[in-house]
Structure 1
Amino acid sequence: MTTFDSTKASLNDLLREIREGKIQLPDFQRGWVWDDDHIRDLLVSIARSFPIGAVMLLEAGGEVRFETRPVEGLEKQIPKDQKPEKLILDGQQRLTTLTQALALDAPVRTTTAKGKKIKRHYYFDIRKAVEMPHALEEAVIAVDENKQLRSNFGRDVVLDLSSQELECQQLYFPCNQIMGSDDWEATLHQVAPEHFGTYMTFRSQILAPFRSYQLPVILLKKETSKEAVCLVFEKVNTGGVQLSVFELITASYAADGYNLRDDWFGSKVRNVESRRARIEQDDLLKGTEATEFLQAISLLHTFEQRLADIAAGKTGKQVRPVSAKRADVLQLPLSAWQQWADDLEAGFKLVGRFLRKECFYSRKELPYSTQLVPLAAVLARLGDRWLEPRIYDKLARWYWCGVLGELYGGAVETRMANDYEELLRWFEDDEALPRTVRDASFQPDRFDTLRSRLSAAYKGINILVLREGSKDWFWKASIRELDASEIALDIHHIFPRNWCESTGIAREEYDSILNKTPISYKANRKIGGDAPSEYLPRIQQEKQVGLSDEEMDALLTSHAIAPELLRANDFYRFIEDRRRRLAGLIESAMGKKVNQAYEQEEYASDFQEQ
């Protein structure tokens, strides 16, 4: 069954339906943004009978229900409760421009090319249009809201069209009379009959193309799914504006009288507190996206549907899957939000507590934000049970397997759904190992390629070092305490770059996480570019430090560093020893040997369905 029709419609009919409110905008459409130059160009294109592109409309009245609004400029003319017959998906800017310039008496609210807001009435200079039909750009003029053109910084009026009589006498035709000019022609007969012949030529050459102009129209039928509407909008939107899931669901819930935007962002006008702001009171949760919250709602909702299907005796494909995929998020009913939003908000707040127990204290330290989606959904369901040792240990192991196995980059909707369902099963059955725990592996040679502090595994390993209680080499405090006190920290080379290069050590050998550790800027400056055997005594002998060899060695050990190898400037043995020490931290976090390689399950369906 085809989901669309392709036809043509006259510009006059489209403008009439827009004025009558039969054609409106879905509320997810952005505001009208065309500037004065674009408006003039569009008017000239139609006058020359040039194509201006197709418009795409969606039949109203189907299962896809949106909050709607009139085209800009008609807000006061169309009753708020009037239901449209069609919605504009593509062509908003063109149709809004034509409505304001051709069908309304009010001035067009537009902007200059530089973005300054202006109000303009548009006219054709009849003489120029007739005399120069191939240079119509010069015949289209715009005057201010008083229908005057001024010079000398607005002090002198050089053209006054403030009455219909003045328009006729000076032969300037208002664009808002193009589709019906009987009244204007009657005035022309009375005040300037000598110009009527010139006007009739203008009417034939310019007005006739407007009145007979046809636009290609693609009409999506009301059976079109919400996901298809979203995807079609993004494909055809010439402004390059991506439509988010949140915006589409907001428009859908508004049709049921619920303001999702107020719920998430808050509203001072309507005295609604922001759910996002409540979540972001925890610094670790700053930047939580509405789409991520909706994905977690989808996990909770679809899991309940799955349980209901199983309880009803359904099997196989009859049982709905747990999902965080876009198509399923778009199908979330308002009841799902109302049922789960408060529980999930509490779940996200528990995420912050969990992360702190795992020694994360800053948002920038988090390896993945995507992994927080199933984590929040799980915690929303568990409530206080997440602190039970048996559950917490499994939750922590799963988290670190996702981080150190680098499994939450890219398209991860399928993994989110699997992890949510499998974690809940694992909490009750020790043998039901989740795929993320089973799939995760960390090969020893991965250390050699971890150079960017932005990568998930790099961040994770850094936290594993910090949570062992690593101490600074200058200040008498742990690195975590310094970080909390906002004392500048550096991720610094242990064997300095200058020393490595002067010794002939290649960059790919010294510039990895194996030769880096977090220290304060003070300690960093004391190191300089010297060999460890030189900078370590220098640090120890500082008056503010005053450490014995044993005390300094203890500090080094807290960074998973072998003091004797560092003091001996034995770079290669140091690197291999640190590889072993860091591997031990990773093994403890993941609950498996670093050198074990598990065959990873393919998640190709994620990419095929994007």
Structure 2
Amino acid sequence: MDINKALDPTIDREEAIVSLPEDKKIRNFRGEIIEDYSTIEKECKAELLPLSLVFDFSALTNWQMHYFQIDANAMRERMSKWNELLQQVIQRFQQYQVPLILLRKENPKEAVCQVFEKVNTGGVSLTAFELLTATYAAEDFNLRQDWSSRLKRIRKFKVLESVENTDFLQTVTLLATYSRKKQNPDVAVSCKRKDVLRLPLSDYQTWAEVATQGFEKAAKFLYSQKIFSARDLPYRTQLVPLAAIFSVLGDLADNDGVRSKLAQWYWCGVLGELYGSAVETRFARDLQEVLAWIDGVGTPSTIQDANFSPSRLLTLRTRNSAAYKGISALLLREGALDFRSGETIDLQMYFDERIDIHHIFPRAYCQERGIDSRKCDCIVNKTPLSAKTNRMIGGKPPSAYLERLQKTAGITEERMKEILNSHVINYEAMKLNDFETFFNLRYNALLDRIEKAMGKQINRDHTLDDIISLDEIEDGMESSDIEV
């Protein structure tokens, strides 16, 4: 601590703290010593007090005597400085009262968690994973190390790259409580924070490997639904019940009838936009109800609750919406072909060709023609395309870029119709640059695809023109689509 800076009221106290290398010698870039504080005499002459002495009273007194005697002519001045330093700085260190909240062994983990949440606001928020890491460490188990090895397995699947340790713990907790409920009907299946914090180490060790395999099977299922990357995953949260369901089903999940039911449940959750908030209760219901449904009992509430309003198609404009990403994946699942190569978009092609969601009638073209931006930018006017195909489209009208694609790739008119049809796009409307016909036909075709995926009918009492004329579409609606 620079004593003179510490006592100067015009200088910030933080500036009085000087960092030195271990040998207390400061060198320039050539290694030459430019400042040397390696002895008590040199420290006292420079008036730099080692802060390590503050709580060592004997050493501090010894340093103080050297400080007074180093310059006999300035002893009185130095004594005055030292007294001021002692009162204003050193005693504040020595007498500082450290706030203490004592948590005893009998305190429930929820109370521990609450204390950290309320008091630790200035630091890093402690998650259930951090708290369980400390709890398990008392039983000589390294949770962080165990999770690290499991994370490497999970992250091999690009669609699972966003999975967090808390997601994994929720899945393990679901499996543990589900297992206990099978033995005791009075036990609740749950994976809320308090349940995760109560997870015994024995339960974690029993179910962690099962849960890991569940995530791996869930990834393969998502690939079959043409969801290939974490960026295109509609809901990360839905992975928790999905992985738990696969964990319990095991090899039974490979049966075609079971996978069809799982797909229906999954798409109802995505297109019904049911996993945006307050999801823990739904997780527990999903696990129990989907498994019972597979056994022929009842219908999951996620399927019953799911609803898709036709007007929603006009407000799905960005990746903030789960249904926006879901509809793009649905098109791939139903066999959407690349405009240029005519190939089915599989896992390899998805990454090699950088597939993304792009405009069909380019935005520049729509702006030039005065087409309503709500129609231009919604999912009805978008489809998954490769980066190269999108560059070829540019801002050209459909008739022009289709002609170029056909000539460049040697695609016949009939084949072009097949390719566009795989995206539920009308070829004739595109050749005529007829946006309204294209839009109306695709709007209804997408609703058909959504109905098929959800396994339930959509209420189509209002036509597209009715919806627009009733002014049910507002520019601000997209803000409510943000996934939690």
Residue 349 to residue 201, structure 1, CA distance change in 2 (3 Å): same
CA shift for structure 1 position 379: 0.9
**Structure ranking higher in strand proportion:** 1
Which secondary structure does the structure 2 equivalent of 1:215 belong to?
coil
Relative to structure 1, the CA distance from residue 523 to residue 482 in structure 2 (aligned partners, 3 Å threshold; closer, same or farther) is farther
Alignment of 1:166-185 (within 5 A): 174-179=50-55, 181-182=57-58, 185=61
TM-score (ref. length: structure 1): 0.66
CA 1:218–1:532 in structure 2 vs 1: closer, same or farther (change >3 Å)?
Answer: same
Amino acid at match of 1:236: V
Equivalence for 2:124: 241
CA distance in 1, matches of 2:28, 2:248: 70
Segment of structure 1 superposing worse, 277-286 or 495-504: 495-504
User: How far is 1:215 from its partner?
Assistant: 1.6
Counterparts of 2:9 and 2:339, CA distance in 1: 81
Q: Are residue 281 (structure 1) and residue 145 (structure 2) matched?
A: no
Q: 1:160 to 1:294 in 2, by over 3 A?
A: closer
* Alignment correspondent of 2:409: 544
Report the CA distance between 1:197 and its aligned residue: 7.1
Q: Is the 8 A contact 2:310 2:460 kept in 1?
A: no
2: CA distance, partners of 1:488 / 1:148: 55
**Closer/same/farther in 2, CA of residues 136 and 200 from structure 1, 3 Å limit:** farther
Structure with more of its chain in helix, by fraction:
2
Q: How far apart, CA to CA, are the structure 2 residues paired with 1:520 and 1:160?
A: 64
Offset of 1:558 from its aligned partner? 1.3
**C-alpha distance in 2 between matches for 1:521 and 1:166:** 66
CA distance in 2, matches of 1:546, 1:211: 80
Which of 162, 173, 176 aligns to 2:39? It is: 162
**Structure 2 match to 1:290:** 165
Aligned to 1:433: 299
Read off the aligned partner of 2:179 and give its amino acid letter: E
Q: 1:226 to 1:543 in 2, by over 3 A?
A: closer
Alignment partner, residue 355 of structure 1: 222
1:321 aligned partner: 188
Post-superposition CA distance 1:34-69 (Å, at most 9, x none) = xxxxxxxxxxxxxxxxxxxxxxxxxxxxxxxxxxxx
How far, CA to CA, are the matches of 1:480 and 1:526 in structure 2? 21
Instruction: State how far apart, in whole Å, the 1-side matches of 2:35 and 2:346 are.
Output: 72
Q: Distance in 1 between matches of 2:155 and 2:99?
A: 45
The CA distance in 2 between the partners of 1:577 and 1:442, in whole Å, is 18
Q: What secondary structure does 1:479 align onto?
A: coil
* 1:557–1:563 CA contact under 8 A, matched in 2: yes
**Contact 1:343–1:380 at 8 Å: present in 2 too?**
yes
* 1:389 Cα offset (Å): 3.3
- Helix, strand or coil: the match of 2:97? strand
Q: Within 5 Å, which residues of 2 pair with 1:43-442?
A: 122=1, 124=3, 137=13, 142=18, 144=20, 148=24, 155=32, 160=37, 162-163=39-40, 174-179=50-55, 181-182=57-58, 185=61, 192=69, 205-207=84-86, 209-210=91-92, 213-215=95-97, 217-222=99-104, 223-237=106-120, 239-265=122-148, 274-310=149-185, 319-430=186-297, 432-442=298-308
- Report if the CA contact (8 A) 1:286-1:363 is conserved: yes
Q: Which residue of 2 aligns with 1:469?
A: 335
Say if 2:103 and 2:112, in contact at 8 Å, map to a contact too.
no
Letter matched to residue 231 of structure 1: Q
Quick check: 1:554 aligned with 2:418?
A: yes
Unpaired stretches in structure 2, ≥5 consecutive residues:
462-483
Check conservation: 1:178, 1:210, Cα contact below 8 A: no
From the superposition, tell whether residues 173 and 589 of structure 1 become closer, same or farther in structure 2 (CA, over 3 Å): closer
Q: Which amino acid aligns with 1:414?
A: T
Q: Distance in 1 between matches of 2:76 and 2:444?
A: 96
CA contact 2:357–2:384 (8 Å) conserved in 1: yes
Question: Aligned equivalents of 1:397 and 1:239: distance in 2?
Answer: 44
1:509 partnered with 2:375: yes
> By how many angstroms is 1:575 displaced?
1.7
Cα distance change, pair 261–546 in 1 and its aligned pair in 2 (3 A): closer
Q: 1:487 aligns with which of 312, 337, 353?
A: 353
What's the offset of the Cα at 1:199? 7.3
SS in 2 for 1:354: helix
Could you tell me which amino acid in structure 2 is paired with residue 331 of structure 1? R
Helix, strand or coil at the partner of 1:281: coil
| Conserved? CA contact 1:495–1:510, under 8 Å | yes
Deviations 1:170-221 (A, max 9, x none): 8876544444534664787799497987777666544463487242634234
Question: What is the CA-CA distance between 1:519 and the residue it aligns to?
Answer: 3.0
| Matched residue type, 2:97 | L
The structural deviation recorded for 1:475 is: 1.6
Pair 275,183 (structure 1): closer, same or farther in 2 beyond 3 Å: closer
Q: Distance in 2 between matches of 1:444 and 1:138?
A: 61
Residue aligned with 2:175, SS = helix
1:568 and 1:187 map into 2 onto residues whose CA distance is 91
Q: CA deviation at 1:433?
A: 1.4
* CA-CA distance at 1:136 after TM superposition: 9.7
The answer on whether the counterparts of 1:488 and 1:521 sit within 8 Å (CA) in structure 2 is yes
Per the alignment, residue 584 of structure 1 pairs with 448
- 1:138-196 CA-partner distances (Å, limit 9, x unpaired): 99664745675657777457664624x77678887654444453466478779949798
Q: Which amino acid aligns with 2:227?
A: F
Distance in 2 between the 1:434 and 1:451 partners?
A: 29
TM-score when scaled to structure 2?
A: 0.81
C-alpha displacement of 1:479 = 3.4
Whether contact under 8 Å (2:342, 2:419) holds in the other structure is no
Alpha-carbon spacing, 1:471–1:134, altered in 2? closer, same or farther (3 Å): closer
